[in-house]
């Protein structure tokens, strides 16, 4: 999809569909909408006066122009009440309009920027680009016969030349946010026989090469020298080699502050000897959703160039069953010297992250850390499929991350770290077990991760409930959502 800005009168634009927005209860039409109404002989005004068009949020009316405008159709979308309009609504309306145009078989559709008077020109343009590209995303597939998608061009129309710079900036930022999210979706949706830890490291290297990021990939020999036995233990049952992937962006060389984004990259999770039920196991190709989010975010950060130092650290492994696979009751010693009794091989993500977190702090000198992981099914039970769980050891840093969520439009809810729950994962043969059992499972998992960050400000995002969407929606297709990419970008820019 190409998004192009055209500075011209809206009545002159040629398109298969022209999209305009209408706020609820507004007595006087905006200038651009009024010009369309006049060209169409007052049809929009007549709809409003008759009560057939109110501007309620997502209310839709289609008008055919019959040659009175260069555009073949005018799609009117309700924006809702002015007081309730925000960037999320801007994204949703843009996605709704783009999908409706695609369903009509349009090749080109044109649109005004919705809500610029409320959000500001740049933010409204960003929301428009984000919503359009996120809403039009389609899962890549390996079908022999591919469906033909006609919609390839979007035209953003603005008559005021003075707004051009802000519009262009907003559209470009929105494009980067959406493209990086969609790139993460592609990674996460990829079948696990194609996206192995090695392939994931190759794709990360391609991103680094294309966008000027630093890249380091550690194989099993290098990790063994560093005594990263926790991460290695999870992948030891697989024929595929485990990897540690490190992407780096140096945007403020004078600063000693470094933000680390740490992603869980389990490219397939059978559960190991604590085998998952067969039903639904095919979705475990998405167990590297955290890794996808980190790579996607680093791709955008490299192009947006914030004044910050950011590293992305990904622990990549396959959790498989074989004669070499780790067994319940085995004990491994992590890179920081703490021992872990593996009582459930399906609680593998925290074991992978243990070494990745310590590496980010010890070797990369991270001063703040966010990890992103499809960690526990329990978080989906607690918060459902629209909100991720957030845990932190630092109130101030947690507030920074919450602000980033607010700006991105993604949703998180801070969960408690209950100290009394530590007893549930105490072990008689090691420093800890790798799980505290079913009750409070998301909290105990976070407490285990905390054992590997010491006093470094840290936020853990459990995205197991939100990383994939079985039904799909306007912004999130069926399959991977790419959750977390936009928030991580916002955090780095903030």
Binding residues for Mn(2+): 264, 269, 287, 346, 348
State the Cα–Cα distance between residues 74 and 104, nearest whole angstrom.
12
Strands 309-319 and 259-269: parallel
In sequence order, the 6+-apart residues with CB closer than 8 A to the CB of 419 are: none
Helical axes 121-135 vs 87-103, angle rounded to 10°: 40
Q: What angle do CA 207, 211, 216 make, to 5 degrees?
A: 55
Known binding residues: 264, 269, 287, 346, 348
CA 358 to the chain's CA centroid: 24
C-alpha 301: how far from chain center? 13
- Tokens in use for 131? 């919503």
What secondary structure does DSSP assign to 366-413, as a single string?
Answer: -SEEEEEE---HHHHHHHTTS-EEEEES-HHHHHHHHHHHHHH---EE
Q: Which two tokens stand for residue 23?
A: 């706020």
| Contact yes or no for 475/92 (Cβ under 8 A) | yes
Alpha helices in 75-215 (DSSP H): 87-103, 116-119, 121-135, 164-189, 197-211
Q: Is 58 noted as a catalytic residue in this protein?
A: no
DSSP codes, 167-201? HHHHHHHHHHHHHHHHHHHHHHHS-TTTS-HHHHH
Query: Which tokens hold the place of 314?
Result: 């990904």
Q: Which residue carries 């703040």 as its tokens?
A: 368
Residue 151 tokens read as 């919609």
Of residues 169, 276, 363, 407, which has the active-site annotation? 276
CB 53 within 8 A of CB 77: no
Please pick, among 350, 433, 468, 486, the residue that the annotation labels catalytic: 350
Q: Token match 């069953």: residue?
A: 321
- What interhelical angle do 197-211 and 289-304 show, nearest 10? 10
Contact 112, 17 (CB under 8 A): no
338 is known as an active-site residue: no
Instruction: Report the distance separating Cα 121 and Cα 166, nearest Å.
Output: 6
Which positions are annotated as active-site residues?
276, 350
């Amino acid at each position: 999809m190409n998004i192009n800005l055209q500075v011209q009168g809206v009545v002159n634009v040629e398109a298969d569909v022209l999209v305009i927005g209408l706020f609820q209860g507004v007595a006087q039409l905006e200038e651009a909408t009024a010009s369309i109404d006049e060209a169409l002989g007052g049809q929009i005004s007549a709809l409003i006066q008759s009560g057939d068009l109110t501007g309620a949020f997502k209310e839709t009316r289609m008008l055919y122009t019959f040659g009175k405008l260069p555009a073949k159709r005018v799609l009117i979308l309700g924006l809702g009440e002015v007081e309730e309009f925000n960037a999320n609504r801007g994204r949703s309306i843009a996605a709704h309009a783009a999908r409706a145009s695609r369903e009509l078989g349009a090749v080109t559709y044109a649109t005004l920027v919705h809500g610029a008077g409320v959000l500001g020109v740049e933010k409204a343009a960003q929301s428009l680009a984000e919503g359009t590209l996120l809403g039009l995303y389609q899962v890549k597939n390996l079908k022999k016969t591919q469906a033909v998608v006609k919609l390839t061009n979007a035209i953003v129309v603005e008559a005021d030349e003075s707004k051009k710079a802000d519009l262009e900036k907003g559209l470009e930022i929105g494009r980067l946010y959406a493209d990086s999210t969609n790139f993460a979706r592609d990674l996460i949706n990829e079948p696990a026989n194609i996206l192995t830890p090695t392939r994931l490291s190759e794709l990360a290297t391609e991103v680094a090469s294309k966008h000027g990021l630093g890249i380091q990939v550690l194989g099993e020999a290098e990790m063994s020298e560093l005594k990263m036995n926790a991460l290695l233990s999870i992948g030891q049952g697989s024929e595929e080699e485990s990897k540690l992937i490190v992407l780096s962006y140096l945007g403020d060389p004078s600063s000693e502050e470094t933000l680390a984004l740490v992603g869980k990259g389990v490219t397939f999770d059978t559960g190991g000897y604590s085998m998952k039920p067969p039903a639904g196991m095919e979705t475990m190709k998405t167990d590297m959703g955290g890794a996808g989010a980190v790579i996607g975010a680093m791709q955008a950060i490299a192009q947006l160039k914030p004044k910050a130092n950011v590293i992305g650290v990904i622990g990549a492994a396959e959790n498989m069953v074989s004669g070499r696979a780790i067994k319940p009751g085995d004990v491994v010693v992590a890179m920081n010297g703490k021992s872990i009794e593996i009582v459930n091989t399906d609680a593998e993500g925290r074991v992978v992250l243990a070494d990745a977190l310590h590496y980010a702090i010890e070797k990369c000198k991270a001063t703040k850390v966010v990890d992103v992981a499809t960690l526990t099914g329990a978080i989906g039970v607690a918060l459902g499929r629209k909100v991720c769980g957030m845990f932190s050891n630092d109130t101030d840093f947690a507030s920074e991350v919450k602000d980033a969520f607010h700006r991105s439009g993604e949703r998180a809810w801070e969960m408690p770290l209950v100290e009394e729950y530590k007893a549930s994962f105490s072990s008689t043969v090691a420093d800890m077990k790798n799980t505290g059992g079913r009750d409070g499972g998301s909290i105990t998992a976070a407490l285990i991760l905390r054992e590997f960050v010491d006093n470094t400000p840290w936020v853990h995002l459990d995205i197991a409930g939100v990383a994939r969407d079985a039904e799909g929606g306007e912004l999130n297709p069926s399959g991977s959502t790419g959750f977390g990419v936009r928030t991580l970008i916002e955090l780095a820019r903030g």
